[in-house]
Structure 1
């Protein structure tokens, strides 16, 4: 181990770059759908040793010396996001004639931009670098800060956050209920990087003991939550989730609209006597092939489809007429509730839109070059202003999270709107049979654990599922399956207030590593 570490530390030029790039690329195996988390115990020690050797030139300023550390993180991030997000480019090929030109930006540009955050992570770590366990804490602090920034700046994009690598199954997801995703990011890096101490023996016993203690606590807390008596529930909601698997390139084809609507309705009607036993039928994001109130007969057909007392929860495009003369109409990506009389009784608009997917930042500039958003059938969407719970059944209050809104921990505030069930409507058909839909589902699964609420998830081509408040899958449809999934969601009409100060614990976790790293760094300087 000492010889390997020494060789990595002394590497120079393209060899260092290649090791950083390959380390990031290999770390993707720790994420869904592969879930091979042990790879983290190899990739992060390599990064530690690379930073050990990132001394820069003797005459460099502080910023000059940090440049070498930044480069390690950037190349690591380029490999990680390049191999982890390559499937984003598949969305551009749905309408290749209009968007294929942007493929290099999607598969190389986006990873290159996101890699800046990991370059920042290693540069921050280098500021507090010392020896032994201190540099491991510095790396955890650097990534903790970088992942928080990545989830916040420029509308945020916390996809493939490091913490997910330590949460491949419900047993290992429970800690996020206590420390939140941002705390898990720092903790995961700290534990994954600990084998680096095997090379020098400095603080080896303390480091391995700390890593073992955290791992045991992680598994033990998960086991305790999963084996504890089930949370008391006083109500159930019977749902039918429809997964139609409509091909994305025909979704808004006028010639296919009636066939799409017929498929949705046919799948929603049970072939036996169980139709009336379902409280809510759920269709995926933008499932309606028409604007929400565009075609009266569509609402009539939906009303006839539903049994007495049933409701349909459906993803749809909602329009608002222009409020000023000459202005264009506004379109919203929405989830609507329709009752058994075909009446729209509630609707919630998507608040957090996908940049370049659902809207264009600096739209006038891009319009001048004839560039539109990927989902530009309606010229782009406007964001909703307020999110509220949708009341259905006997006391169920559903918190609607549309598509990738579910990946943002900071958007998950069910207590503020009195929600007791999460509903996630999405359309991942843009990405086909790639890792994307599996990664998306994993993040939704973790949000349910984090919030401590059950989740109903309807996806156009999968993965559709009902997940309980501990992240366990009650039932699910695989990718590209076609059918209707009946399941029962147990919930509490008045869930207890979430008293865990998760954000504060996340911040305290990151600051603890900063304090440890700073203390060790100062101690090293005093010894020198």
Structure 2
């Protein structure tokens, strides 16, 4: 097929999208958004974006007929696209409301619809910003990349931030492509993903607007190939090394959520943890294990207030073995009827002594605390976790020291999804530990998406990641993102592994988001200048 034939064929596909209006336009946007989630975990079908991202370009192209220079029409298309994207990508969040269905079941449908509707506002802003700076030609696709990177960054930071399934994660598989996270982080990969996958839209342009329509797609293809080659070279140059003398054992109990906060199940839960932790593997139980790791909020009680539990931990641990576990910690300010707690990580020595504690800083809205609590509780809305006063945030992210291993940064649950925010300033640890409980979400894509995002933090920081999850997926990941050991979703078991060694900080760990921020600002300024120049030229041509 000749280049002109390709242009003609794509123009025929683009025209109905550009000219669509009303319900048809909304439906196209919703379907394109929903189909874009195929690129995310667990499917990783990122070539689908070569079909859906050009639709974004054509939707913005077709917004010019709307009022306010097309801003309203572009924002509406962006909202519908975002609603389809987040509904298809986050529907599994509804599973959390079925854990205590008698109390929270009525919130399932409102929550499953309200969260995508709210997050779609960021997508609407990205489309509107692109339209504000829009001008004919292939460069408008670069403008779109900068505008959507801006809106995705805002989604990851405003109102506590929720950068789940940001577009950059489409390039997290295969692992050679994922090495780009070590260079430019999530937001740089988001810019690249939009640019690469939207580039084919230029092939449908009229020659008057884009004289060489194949140039941008060719550049995008070269960028994608170069990224893959860079990644392959980096992987070959960074073979997995391990820390001498460290032997990890991760315990994955696979306890259902309704048991984990049931004090009456205290004895059963503790017996299960102790039995699993001692399960023979490779001819031994805990012998030779230096660090035993249990998942987030492991106990249906405050472990530091239960002498029998502390005694059981001391009996479990042989000399030279440390226990690192998630656990709720009762706040000292708590009073009868006004219980408040921290979602914490404890480090126990072999004699049951508490060596150090970390309190989770980044709490989950509506899961661990309720924003505007006084108002919303009057409407019957409470946090999902059964702590009457909700959780309190810790004061800061910090490293913890542990005998026999390098210092580590504990990341509780979704603290691992925030790029450039998992390592304390001025203190580089030897590894990252993500303790989590994804039992809320059952056997759905949620835990796979969570694992992928945590895994990219390892690549960005050049640090190994150890992940202990109640129902899975537990894993040990090296600094290049290789999975050294893994225990699947919905399984009970233990995972024995050595601890991978850290590598030198990659570029992203050293400079963060500054280069990508500068690039996005430069593109937006250039787009504004270009739009103004085109507008001035159009006015001069008017009679």
Taking structure 1 as the reference length, the TM-score comes to: 0.95
- Aligned equivalent of 1:284: 295
DSSP-derived class of the 1:361 partner: coil
Name the stretch that deviates more: 326-335 or 137-146.
326-335
Mapped pair 1:110 → 2:112: no
Tell me which residue corresponds to 2:27: 18
* Structure 2 Cα separation of the partners of residues 377 and 246 of structure 1: 19
**Alignment correspondent of 1:226:** 235
Of 295, 304, 310, the residue aligned with 1:293 is: 304
Where in structure 2 are the equivalents of 1:470-485 lying within 5 Å?
A: 470-485=480-495
The CA deviation at 1:338 is: 0.7
Between 465-474 and 215-224, the greater mean CA deviation after superposition: 215-224
Give 1:61's aligned residue: 68
Secondary structure of the structure 1 residue equivalent to 2:303 = coil
Measured in 2, the distance between the counterparts of 1:101 and 1:456 equals: 36
1:43 corresponds in structure 2 to: 52
What do residues 393-440 of structure 1 show as CA deviations (whole Å, max 9, x unaligned)? 434111000000100114222553331100000000000001100100
Q: After alignment, is 360-369 or 244-253 more displaced? A: 360-369
Q: Matches of 2:86 and 2:487 in 1, distance apart?
A: 28
> Which of 364, 370, 374 pairs up with 1:354?
364
1:198 aligns with 2:203: yes
Residue aligning to 1:52: 61
- Is the CA contact 1:177–1:450 (under 8 Å) kept in the aligned structure 2? yes
The residue aligned with 1:216 is 225
Distance 1:92 1:231, change over 3 A: closer
Contact 2:255 2:471 in 1 (8 A): yes
Given that 2:247 and 2:498 are in contact with CA atoms closer than 8 Å, whether structure 1 keeps it comes out as: yes
The alignment partner of 2:391 has SS state of coil
CA contact (8 A) 1:396 1:493 kept: no
Q: Deviations over 1:93-135 (max 9, x none)?
A: 1111111121122111110000000000000000111122221
The alpha-carbon distance between structure 1 residues 113 and 318, as it changes in their structure 2 partners (threshold 3 A), is same
8 Å CA contact 2:463, 2:478 repeated in 1: yes
**Taking CA–CA contacts closer than 8 Å with sequence separation of 6 or more, which of the two structures ends up with the larger relative contact order?**
1
- 1:450-484: CA deviations, max 9, x gaps? 11100100000000000000011001001011111
Aligned length: 523
State whether structure 2 residue 340 is matched by structure 1 residue 306: no
String of CA shifts for 1:466-525, please: whole Å, max 9, x gaps: 000001100100101111100001325997997631211221232243244335434433
Q: Which residue of 2 aligns with 1:91?
A: 96
Give per-residue Cα distances to partners, 1:312-346, cap 9 Å, x unaligned: 000000002327x8883420000100111011111
The gaps in structure 2 that reach 5 residues or longer are 1-9, 539-543
* Shift in CA distance, 210/514, structure 1 to aligned 2, threshold 3 Å: farther
Structure 1 distance, partners of 2:336, 2:440, is: 33
Which deviates more, 87-96 or 195-204?
A: 195-204
Matched with 1:82 is 87
State yes or no: 1:133 paired with 2:138: yes
RMSD across aligned positions (CA): 2.0
Cα offset for 1:259? 1.0
Offset at residue 376 of structure 1 (A)? 2.7
Q: Deviations over 1:195-238 (max 9, x none)?
A: 10111251423212320231122112211210114377664521
For the residues of structure 2 that align with 1:410 and 1:495, how far apart are their CA atoms? 12
Confirm whether residue 506 of structure 1 aligns to residue 516 of structure 2: yes
Specify whether residues 524 and 480 from structure 1 end up closer, same or farther in structure 2 by C-alpha distance, changes over 3 A only: same
Say which is worse superposed, 486-495 or 447-456, in terms of deviation. Answer: 486-495
Alpha carbons 2:184, 2:507 under 8 Å: kept: no
Change (3 A) 1:461 1:233: closer
Residue number among 455, 461, 474 corresponding to 1:445 in the alignment: 455
Q: Does 1:372 align with 2:377?
A: no
Residue 6 of structure 2 aligns with which residue? none
Distance 2:246 2:527 in 1: 49
CA distance in 2, matches of 1:380, 1:352: 13
Classify 1:379/1:210 alpha carbon distance in 2 versus 1 (closer, same or farther; 3 Å).
Answer: same
CA pair 432-492 structure 1, distance change in 2 beyond 3 A: closer
The residue that corresponds to 2:275 in the other structure is 266
CA distance in 2, matches of 1:70, 1:494: 43
> Is 2:157 aligned against 1:152?
yes
